[in-house]
Amino acid sequence: MTHRTQPTLLRVGAGMLLTVAAFFFVMASAATSHDIRPGIGVSEIRWLSDYLPALEGTPGDTEIYVLRGEKPGGAFLLLGGTHANEIAGVMAATLFVERGTVTQGTVYVIPHANNSAASYNSGVYNAGTPDWIELTTRAGEVRQFRYGDRRTNPSDQEADPEVFIHEQSGLEFDGGEARNLNRNYPGKADGTLTQQMCYALFELAEREKINVLIDMHESSITGRLANTLVSHPRAVDIAAFSILDLEIEGLALKQEVSSGEFFGLSHKEFGDRTHVLPFLIESANPGQEKSISNPDVVNDPRSPLSDRVYLQLRTIQAILTNHALLEGSSTAIAFEFPFGLGELLGADLGAFLR
């Protein structure tokens, strides 16, 4: 119970200048903080608002963990929690921050890409999903992690429009998609909170000269997208070689390429508008399956969380290996863990956390 939404006091330092009432307003809408314990690989912690100051002190702000390798190389942006109910991505990013080390290049890890979405769970796919998951560490400590929502918290953004129109393309979506981080790229500096988060991520990619972006997602266990690697057409060779490598190990992933007509998604917009090579990984979450009552989002034997985190991290490793082979060592990125990733399979994920 110790890790509920807590305002980060440092972030509201400007509150000194505000009235008491305004101070409490800022407190109430501050970014959700999480139990993430940076390990020896983390060189620096930044905030998304470093790339768009308008986000400072808002629920859309979120921590960015920077891990630098000794050997120079490329830059890699890893996103978890674009959809905050897709917890394998959140936990893979958390594990990366707590135990990973980078040997070449620089890695920017954002475990809660849409931090507003991490602040609530509307039960959009399955009302039986929890607000929190609990994992037990090797030392016997029970740690709690948010099970959030697909979309920005409605209390953090203006009311949804009837129809959400993706501004840059004119593509129309259901109004609620105005709060879907993965429909709002490339975003807008003075737009909605969701558009501002997208804009700040684009700024980060540009300023840090990101070479590779991987956005970690989950779908229902029977959905078309379960166990899929999506890439922009410019990254299709890297994706294909990665899938072949993983297939040899018995990890079967389907391949998809960004559609020419579906706009607003990370793999589409970063690929079209920047030099970034973008990918999106989908593991299979029983909590996104309507047919399962009271889904066990951690231990369901059909798709346990540790196996899904393995799928995410092993796929990332394969992508970065093939990126180095195809693009050359000057932009290569490499990381390692103090355990073999295969040890995650069928294991208790909490035992790998700090």
Quote the least distance from Cβ 73 to Zn ion, whole Å.
Answer: 28
Q: Which residues pair with 77 in a beta bridge?
A: 108, 213
Q: Identify which range of 54-62, 76-84, 132-140, 340-348 contacts Zn ion by CB under 5 A.
A: 76-84
Per-residue x/- marks for Zn ion, 32-71, CB under 5 A?
Answer: ----------------------------------------
Which residue lies nearest Zn ion, judged by its C-beta?
217
Residue type, 62: T
Per-residue x/- marks for Zn ion, 196-235, CB under 5 A?
Answer: ---------------------x------------------
Largest CA distance in the chain: 62
Quote the least distance from Cβ 312 to Zn ion, whole Å.
Answer: 12
Quote the least distance from Cβ 209 to Zn ion, whole Å.
Answer: 26
Report the C-alpha gap between 166 and 173 in whole angstroms. Answer: 8
Report the C-alpha gap between 51 and 135 in whole angstroms. Answer: 33
In the range 88-127, which residues lie near Zn ion by CB under 5 A? Answer: none
Phi, then psi, of 232 in degrees rounded to 5: -70, 155
Six token digits for residue 210: 């990101």
Angle of helix 236-248 relative to helix 305-327, nearest 10 degrees, comes to 130
Q: How many residues bind Zn ion (CB under 5 A)?
A: 3
Residue type, 107: V
Q: Tell me if residue 32 falls in helix, strand or coil.
A: coil
60 or 73: CB nearest Zn ion: 60
For the chain, report the end-to-end CA distance as a whole number of angstroms. 18
Six token digits for residue 84: 């905050």
61 or 86: CB nearest Zn ion: 86
Quote the least distance from Cβ 217 to Zn ion, whole Å.
Answer: 3
Instruction: Specify the length of the chain in residues.
Output: 354
106 or 184: CB nearest Zn ion: 184
Question: Is residue 183 close enough to count as binding Zn ion by CB under 5 A?
Answer: no
CB 240 within 8 A of CB 254: no
Q: Tell me if residue 154 falls in helix, strand or coil.
A: helix
Angle of helix 193-207 relative to helix 266-273, nearest 10 degrees, comes to 50
105 or 148: CB nearest Zn ion: 148
Q: Work out which of 83, 166, 232, 314 binds Zn ion, going by CB under 5 A.
A: 83
146 or 217: CB nearest Zn ion: 217
Place of tokens 């807590």: 6
> Peptide bond before 38: cis, by omega within 30 degrees of 0?
no
Quote the least distance from Cβ 86 to Zn ion, whole Å.
Answer: 5
Quote the least distance from Cβ 23 to Zn ion, whole Å.
Answer: 35
Quote the least distance from Cβ 263 to Zn ion, whole Å.
Answer: 16
Quote the least distance from Cβ 12 to Zn ion, whole Å.
Answer: 31
Contact residues for Zn ion, defined by CB under 5 A: 83, 86, 217
